[in-house]
Amino acid sequence: MAGEKFKTPYLLNNPKMREALRQYKLIESIEGSFDGFADLKLTGVQADEQSIIASYRCIGSKDVYPHVRSRLIERGAIKKSNVRSCNKKNSGQPNEYEHLHLVDEGAMIQVHLKVFNPNVLGDAEEFA
């Protein structure tokens, strides 16, 4: 059975959808217990009976950007073992961001986190 994909902004950022996703520790650490992100938006969810993939976009605070991966690990929001990949895109540009691909193998959860630099011009939504 193919996974269901959700991309409607109202559905994704509905408090009940986000509350349901927070039952997973990795998502809770990004959504609920970490204050280094501004304008955190859920931009996509793909789910089937075996796994969930959630995509987020936000603006990082000066406390976490650059080196978002290291800052999240230092603060206990994620573990090194959660990081599948981390890379910087559009370096030196107004829309520079770090993309983290995080996994929780036990819970079959993946998170794609796009963290824009704190000096992004305008809303990060413009650069999605």
Question: Residue 38 and residue 32: Cα distance in Å, rounded?
Answer: 12
| Selection from 56, 50, 54, 57 nearest residue 5 by Cα | 54
- The pLDDT confidence band at residue 6, using thresholds 50, 70 and 90, is low
Q: Which pair of structure tokens corresponds to residue 66?
A: 């650059």
Count Cα neighbours of 100 within 13 Å in the Cβ-side half-sphere. 27
Q: Is the pLDDT of residue 91 over 70?
A: yes
Q: Which DSSP string do the residues of 95-116 spell out, in sequence order?
A: T-EEEEEEEETTTTEEEEEEEE
pTM: 0.86
Give the residue among 113, 109, 78, 79 at the shortest CA–CA distance from 98. Answer: 113
Alpha carbons 114 and 93: distance in angstroms, whole number: 15
pLDDT digits (tens, 9 = 90+) for 16-71: 888 989 999 999 999 876 788 988 999 999 988 899 999 999 999 999 999 999 99
